[in-house]
Amino acid sequence: MKSIYIVVITLVVGWLLFQTFQPSLHNPKAVPRPIEARGDLAADEKNTIDIFRNAAPSVVYITSIAVRRNLFSLNVYEIPQGTGSGFIWDKQGRIVTNYHVISDASRLEVTLADHSSWKAVLVGAAPDRDIAVLQISAPADKLRPLTIGESKDLLVGQKVFAIGNPFGLDQTLTTGVVSALGREITAVTGRTIRDVIQTDAAINPGNSGGPLLDSAGRLIGINTAIYSPSGASSGIGFAVPVREVNRVVPQIISQGKLIRPGLGITLANRNLSKELGLEGVLVLRVLPGSTAEKVGLRGSTQVRDGLVVGDVILEVNGKKVGDHDALRDELERHEVGETVILTLMRDASTVDVKVPLEAMN
């Protein structure tokens, strides 16, 4: 009996000691810990915040809508085809985006930063450059165009900022640096887009068509593509440089399309040139009345035993051109009416010919 008392007393004392030294989970005296002041934001944080606040009202959300027919009732109905981003180009309501964002749409809708939605119409596009221009009828006080920057003086390592609407969410900001310059990507037409900016700023589905900005908040490119087997950002994104955008967009606005400078010739494909062992671009035909005809360029002639080779274009203004794309890229660095110097292989010798560029459809 005595031993039972000892055990009970021991348990009671132990419980009292536990209560004394073990803080209660529901101690009414517990209060929130004081918040320690963090101090002012760092200068680079302030800059990032300012860039987003200033640029966000210029970024739009684009919904492309397709028309479908019900197989049973034959009724026509609309379904969302895809989404993307874009940005306000001017106070007249023109919106710039990627061509691949709107290419298959039957109807387009643009949502501004204030969540107002507007019907959009296609002004024109340059599919080879993955650029398109839309028009909305929003009042000028709702439209804040982005400030245009420069892409020719970009440096690897400088900060960049991407704004868009990934996954249909509200506007988001991702940051990174210029990872590389002079990259190449393929447009939806299969044409190579050259001099592209590579960045590690996250570019997710829905960011396409949105702006890439420098640390001054100026437009330096259009976010166009990501390199990722899964379709999500993997740290390798690409943007069409603003220099190309600023060249193409005014032409689309005034002409509805990109007016290409050309020579008025038909070119052989790469396989034929390779079969003939030629380095450069073979001229197959010179169009009647073209500037090429006027300066005496020679086309190729089909004969019974094969092909009499005409002029082979080796260089444009001293820059080598190895194929059709390279030749077009060099010509498109110039304006219609400008004169270029072609270095030709003609009758086993080289010759330089000056050719004025003409407008080509």
pLDDT value at position 241?
95
Go through 29-51 and write b for each residue having 16 or more CB atoms within 10 A of its CB, e for each that does not.
eeeeeeeeeeeeeeeeeebbeeb
- Sorted by where each starts, the structural domains of the chain and their CATH numbers stand as 54-142 (2.40.10.10), 159-258 (2.40.10.10), 261-360 (2.30.42.10)
Average of pLDDT values for 285-294? 89
Q: Are 187 and 196 in contact (CB under 8 A)?
A: no
Average of pLDDT values for 187-192? 81
Q: Are 246 and 126 in contact (CB under 8 A)?
A: no
292-330 tens-digit pLDDT: 889 888 888 877 777 788 888 898 898 888 888 888 888
Read off the tokens for 18.
Answer: 């536990």
Eight-state DSSP code of residue 157: T
135-146 tens-digit pLDDT: 999 999 999 999
pLDDT value at position 307?
77
154: three-class secondary structure by DSSP: coil
The number of C-alpha atoms within 13 Å of 355 and in the hemisphere containing its C-beta is: 31
Whether residue 15 has pLDDT greater than 80: no
Q: How far apart are CA 181 and CA 197, in angstroms?
A: 5
Between 82 and 198, the more confident residue is 198
pLDDT value at position 110?
92
With a CB cutoff of 8 Å and minimum separation 6, the contacts of 249 are 89, 94, 96, 131, 133
Whether residue 36 has pLDDT greater than 60: yes
Confidence of residue 167 (pLDDT cuts 50, 70, 90): low
141: three-class secondary structure by DSSP: helix
Q: How far apart are CA 258 and CA 95, in angstroms?
A: 16
Q: Please give the positions annotated as active site.
A: 100, 130, 208
Whether residue 122 has pLDDT greater than 80: yes
Whether residue 229 has pLDDT greater than 70: no
- What distance, in Å, lies between the first and last C-alpha atoms of the chain? 111
pLDDT value at position 11?
64
Supply the Cα-derived Rg of the chain in whole angstroms: 31
pLDDT value at position 24?
54
pLDDT value at position 308?
80
Beta-bridge partner residues of 358: 262
Q: How far apart are CA 307 and CA 272, in angstroms?
A: 11
pLDDT value at position 293?
87
50-60 tens-digit pLDDT: 999 999 999 99
The overall average pLDDT reported for the chain is 83
The number of C-alpha atoms within 13 Å of 51 and in the hemisphere containing its C-beta is: 24
With a CB cutoff of 8 Å and minimum separation 6, the contacts of 228 are 234, 236
Alpha helices of the chain — where are they, by DSSP H?
A: 2-21, 43-55, 99-102, 242-255, 270-275, 291-294, 324-331
pLDDT value at position 79?
40
Whether residue 94 has pLDDT greater than 80: yes
How many CB atoms lie under 10 A from the CB of residue 247?
17
Whether residue 182 has pLDDT greater than 50: yes
> What percent of the chain is predicted at pLDDT more than 70?
83
**Which amino acid, 298?**
R
Q: How far apart are CA 232 and CA 282, in angstroms?
A: 42
Average of pLDDT values for 171-197? 87
pLDDT value at position 172?
86
Between 207 and 123, the more confident residue is 123
Whether residue 230 has pLDDT greater than 60: no
How many CB atoms lie under 10 A from the CB of residue 183?
16
